Every structure is written in C-alpha cells, then in structure tokens.
Amino acid sequence: MAEGHDGARGFSAFAARKGGRARGKSWWGGVFAEAVEEAWPEEDRLKRARAMARSGRIGPLTVSPGRIAAQVHGGEDSPFTTELTLRVFEDEDWDALWEKTADRPAETEAVLEGELPPDLLEAAEDARLGLLPGYGDLEPDCDCDEPDHPCAHAVALAYQFSWLLDEEAALLLLVRGRDAQEAAEGLKSVLMLRAMMAMDGADDAVVEESDEAAAAAAAGAGAAPRGTPAAEAYALPVAELPPLPPLPALAAPAEEPEPATGIAADPLERLVADAAVRARALLAYIHGITAEPPRPLDAWQDTVRIAATHPDPRVPERLRAASPRAAELDRAALAWRYGGPAGLDTLEQPWEPPAQETARARSALAAAWEADELPELEVSGNHWTLTGRGLQLRRGRDARWYPYREVEGVWWPVGPPDTEQALVLGGLLEDNS
C-alpha cells in the first residue's frame, strides 16, 4: 500500500478464489456490490464478471478520488487497462453530509474514530447524496474489444473493490473525494460551529422569546396576531383544518396505436430492425472489425434468429405454430441469444476437436484448479460432462466454451460462452451450488 500526491492508494492483487460468493462479505462490501448489480443488472454479464473477479487475472488495484483502476490479464495478449469513475463530492456536499451525521451521536463518534458505520448511509440519503453508486453514477472504461458496456472486466473490478471495503470501509469516502482523516476533520468543524452557535443562542434566549416558536404557535391557533406573547398564543384554540380537496379523476388508459399494416403483430417494425442488424454486420466486415461477412441463414436458422431476437411473445407463438420443429424452438432460441449462430451450431452439431486441442484444454483446466477440487469430467467429442451433476461444457467451433445444464433429460444452454474454460466451469458450479 502506498500514498500518492493525489490521494491515490495502491493495493496488492487478489489471489484466485475457488468458488464462494463474489460480493464483499462485510456490510459495506455487500451493499456496494448490490448497488453495482442494480446499476448493471444483466445476469449473463454478472456471471462472467463474478468468475473473472475470482480468477486471479486482475492486477493490483489503485483507488483515488473519483477513480478505481487495475489491469486485467485476458490471456496471451497485453493486459487491458480497466477503470471505474465516480462523482467526487463538492465541499457543500460534504458539509451537508456532516450536518446530517452530527444529528446522530453514535455515527458521529464512529466517524471521528475513522470508522464507517452503516447508518452513515441514511445520513447521506437525508443529505440527498448517493454514497453508493447509482445508475449513471459509476462510469466504466476499458480498452478491451468487448461489445458490452460495461464489459465484464469493469464489473469484475467493481466486485474486487467490494472486497477492499471488507478490509477498509472508509475507502468508499476516498473514492468520493476525502479520506478518513479528512472526513473526521470536516465533521469536527461542523461540531465546533454548532457548539459556538449554541452558546450564542443560549444568551439570546434569556432576552427574548424565539420568533420561530411564536410564529409556529400563531399559525397553529390560526388567530394570533404577529407579536403575541408565546404563552397567550399557545392558549388560543386550535383552528380546524380545511376539508380535503376531491381526488382527481383517473385518466383513461392510453390506447395502443393501430399498426401501420393493420396486422395485429405488425411485421414492419421487425423488418426494419432486421435490416438494421444485417447492415451493422456488413459494415463491421467492410471496416475490418470482423474477418468474414455474415453468412446466409437457412430457414431453420432464420426462424430461430427471429424467435431469439424479438421480444413480442406473439412472434415465437406464431413460429411454433408454423414450424415442424416447434418442440425445439425455445431451446434453440436460448442458444442463439447466448451465442448467436455459433451458439446454435454448438447446441445442434456435435463434433470432434483435434486431440491436441483436447489435451491442451485438459492441461489448462488442471492448472487453473487445485487437484482435489477439480470435478470429475467425462469427455466425448466437444462435450465435457461433469459426472453425476447434470452439468456440461461444450466447446464450440468458435473456440468458446458454452455452459449447459440437464433438465428432465434434455441439455439446455444456461449462460454466455467464454474462451476461458475455467471461468465458465467456475460460474456453472457457482450457479449450481
């Protein structure tokens, strides 16, 4: 650990963890991780991020005001630089937080001792400050080429920061702009100012009645003129409250506009979306982002694609009614959502990888797991089945590993693929625990 001129602090990299929860175990670590999951709720990405956080591939962490950063090793390539930025509180924000904290004796004492009590979160909410990251407050940045935003590297970094909060909860104040010592000094200033004002107020109270108390009494009585002594004002009868106004009429629900084609499940919107997706794929090929142009799809593949990419439940219903393979459609659409055409191919087309590739995969998996923790696997072609657990990994022709689970004798895809077999296996075992 080292201090920098800008308040930055460095922390050693976390070693690989075999299973277990990815959220921080302390109160602050847990609520920080929950806030991240609420801001970035996509479950597939969270699964990959949890596995990556436990993989030992994230380098030392740097924490500074408004920034959390680390390098993530993704394999043979150069490591990715990943960082998270949060809003740094202004001086008036801190003053508002300490004003609310000063109303809470137990929390005040804890902050002055360098601790971060859980009820400080309520004080921050009273001051209308988001101490935990909210939607749009936590900004990710990574130089990997993953299309997701945020990528799994950024979410994994957020999980590891929750582990740091297990050890030192006051780091949450640092990323908002002040370390524990600065926080304590700010709170002391507020307490000292309150003490000085209390002394002045005590002297003034001997001379005259409080204007605020008199005004409140006059308002409650509804008849006391300005300047009425407090005792007389309190003796006046309490005025009745005016009757409540009638409730507003409920607005009629808005009617959905008629589809442009007059058909209940309007295909025009879907055709436009399909054209946009294909145009994007062609542009990616033209600009060198992808190595090959999009391949034409046969009737079954296109049926699966439509069922997987259109959220309107009427679409798959119609496809099932018209397709001779209706019983397979839901499983195929799920495979497409996780892996696209390659995911569907992995579901439907078993194949035999070269023996050298299988041997290398065995060695890499053994190196990533302790010998006594690696589950027993039965390998048949590109299917790696965990003996007696109803779990399976499938190697796709795209060199990615796909997780599967057996449900009533049928294998179903259960998550996104990854090139790292150990990460996919770890996530599969965690979800099954």
pLDDT per residue over 227-281, tens digit each?
Answer: 556 566 666 777 777 787 777 666 665 565 555 444 444 566 666 767 777 787 7
Confidence category of residue 166, pLDDT binned at 50, 70, 90: very high
| Amino acid 169: pLDDT | 92
| Amino acid 275: pLDDT | 76
Does residue 333 have a pLDDT over 80? yes
| Amino acid 410: pLDDT | 95
| Amino acid 35: pLDDT | 93
Does residue 163 have a pLDDT over 90? yes
As a whole number, mean pLDDT of residues 331-358 equals 92
**Report for 31-45, 235-249, 364-378, 419-433: range of highest mean pLDDT:** 31-45
DSSP E strand stretches across 86-231: 139-142
Does residue 210 have a pLDDT over 50? no
Helix axes 267-286, 299-309, angle to 10 degrees: 110
Nearest to 52 by CA among 32, 80, 82, 22: 22
- Asked whether the beta carbons of 416 and 48 are under 8 A apart, the reply is yes
Distance, in Å, from the CA atom of 270 to the CA atom of 309, rounded to the nearest integer, reads: 9
Does residue 149 have a pLDDT over 60? yes
- Top pLDDT among 320 and 395 is at 395
- Asked whether the beta carbons of 10 and 2 are under 8 A apart, the reply is yes
Distance, in Å, from the CA atom of 368 to the CA atom of 424, rounded to the nearest integer, reads: 12
Does residue 287 have a pLDDT over 80? no
| Amino acid 67: pLDDT | 94
Report how far Cα 3 is from the mean position of its chain's Cα atoms: 29
Does residue 359 have a pLDDT over 80? yes
Q: Please give the model's pTM, rounded to 2 decimal places.
A: 0.53
Which string of DSSP letters, residue by residue, matches 195-256?
Answer: HHHHHHHHHHHHHS--HHHHHHHHHHHS-PPTT--HHHHHHSPPPPPPPPPPPPPPPPPPPP
As a whole number, mean pLDDT of residues 307-313 equals 78
Does residue 395 have a pLDDT over 90? yes
Distance, in Å, from the CA atom of 298 to the CA atom of 289, rounded to the nearest integer, reads: 24
Does residue 165 have a pLDDT over 90? yes
Picking from 48-57, 140-149, 220-229, which range would have the lowest pLDDT averaged per residue?
A: 220-229
Does residue 401 have a pLDDT over 50? yes
| Amino acid 365: pLDDT | 81
Does residue 363 have a pLDDT over 70? yes
**Across all residues in the chain, what is the average pLDDT?**
82
| Amino acid 372: pLDDT | 64
- Percentage above 70 pLDDT, the chain: 80
| Amino acid 293: pLDDT | 77
| Amino acid 61: pLDDT | 93
Confidence category of residue 282, pLDDT binned at 50, 70, 90: confident
**Report for 74-88, 105-119, 398-412: range of highest mean pLDDT:** 398-412
Confidence category of residue 4, pLDDT binned at 50, 70, 90: very low
